[in-house]
Amino acid sequence: MQILPTSDRVTIVAHATTARSACPSCGVASPRVHSYYVRTLADLPWQGRVAALQIRARRFRCANADCQRQVFAERLPEMAGPWARRSERLAEAQRHIGLALGGAAGTRLATRLAMPVSGPTLLRLVATTKLPASPPPRVIGIDEWAWRRGLNYGTIVCDLERQQTVELLPDRNAETVATWLRQHPSVEVIARDRSSVFGRAIREGAPDATEVADRWHLLHNLGDALWAAIGRHRGAVAAALTVVDTPPGTPAQEAPRVIGTTGPTLDALRRQRSDERQARYTAMRRLHEESVPARLIAPALGMSQRTVERWLTAGGAPEHRRPPVASMLDPFRRFLEQRWAADGLTASGYRGLGSEIDYVKVGDELQMFGRGGDYLV
């Protein structure tokens, strides 16, 4: 072995010390050296200098007369793969840099650390990272997933028991999903949306699996069904509520089921919120006149900096107005008011339908928010 240092590089000249090498085709060890060649491997840096191994490698003749292969290059199993141009330990270090920083930034850091590598190579190293083995999934969820929103979509497969993504399929075709399911016979339960595509994929790829609707899609379906069912009888519901609204003392045909309103009414809540906003604006204005910057006013008032700037520009808190269109919720407004009073649901939010999925927000209008966008109930 020989070490050849220069100001910024170190070259280590070395050779394998084993007398024999095993043929990669038949596995028989051969002592018969055919020829020599020089193999260069980039290696981990030495004292801040770029290091390379210059290996005097051998070609061997296969000792097995029945083997197809006559000559083979000796393998360096613990050092590097057969065609690799970097040692395994350097590849490992560069792979970690790539995982942490990606191509361009990774290249800059690796060069600074005397392990120069190009961006594309770094990304290739990242792409060949072996994923930790995970047990075969039993309960999965499949859904659409955007490689680029609005442009192209793939399919995401999640292990719902381990809460891990197990696969990103390149498209959202039934055939692709069915093929994946056939390759994963361990799947017993599949949560999916209403898409007929996934339904078909499951029938083809995992006909014995139990299909379930996930919570979000279940609520979404329920909302649609309610919309269709109640929408048809809107006139009748409005007429029924007119009876409830009849002032006491008015003779009625039959005693209506009067829903109590012991708590604050929507109008009272609205006034209260308006007063609160006004108070906030006054405080904001005062701080602003004391030359406190918006970025400091925002945390003090529990608002975003953008809102503070908007209010200051507008010269006041914006007044929220109810949209002129009648809401589907109008028939239930009184019922909801009663619920706020009785159950202490706050006027600003209700988060009861699912931890991360939907909630009904009561501002000036009532809205249900879902992951797929917000929609008015």
Contacting positions for Zn ion (CB under 5 A): 23, 25-26, 62, 64, 67, 69
Q: How far apart are CA 251 and CA 235, in angstroms?
A: 23
Minimum CB separation of residue 63 from Zn ion in Å reads: 7
Q: Smaller CB distance to Zn ion: residue 26 or 219?
A: 26
Q: Where are the alpha helices (DSSP H) in the chain?
A: 88-101, 103-112, 119-127, 174-183, 196-205, 215-231, 234-245, 266-289, 294-301, 305-314, 333-343
Minimum CB separation of residue 27 from Zn ion in Å reads: 7
Minimum CB separation of residue 76 from Zn ion in Å reads: 18
What is the number of alpha carbons within 13 Å of residue 226 lying toward its C-beta?
Answer: 11
Q: How far apart are CA 164 and CA 162, in angstroms?
A: 5
Minimum CB separation of residue 68 from Zn ion in Å reads: 7
Q: Smaller CB distance to Zn ion: residue 69 or 371?
A: 69
Closest by alpha carbon to 171, among 194, 190, 192, 144? 144
Q: Smaller CB distance to Zn ion: residue 62 or 117?
A: 62
**Residue 344 near residue 355, CB atoms below 8 Å:** no
166, 171, 174, 178 alpha-carbon torsion, rounded to 10°: -30
Q: Which residue has the tokens 């060949």?
A: 128
| DSSP β-bridge partners for residue 223 | none
Minimum CB separation of residue 66 from Zn ion in Å reads: 8
Minimum CB separation of residue 70 from Zn ion in Å reads: 8
Q: Smaller CB distance to Zn ion: residue 65 or 325?
A: 65
Q: Smaller CB distance to Zn ion: residue 23 or 115?
A: 23
Q: Smaller CB distance to Zn ion: residue 69 or 182?
A: 69
**Residues contacting 311, CB < 8 A, separation 6+:** 281, 284, 317, 318
Q: How far apart are CA 265 and CA 262, in angstroms?
A: 8
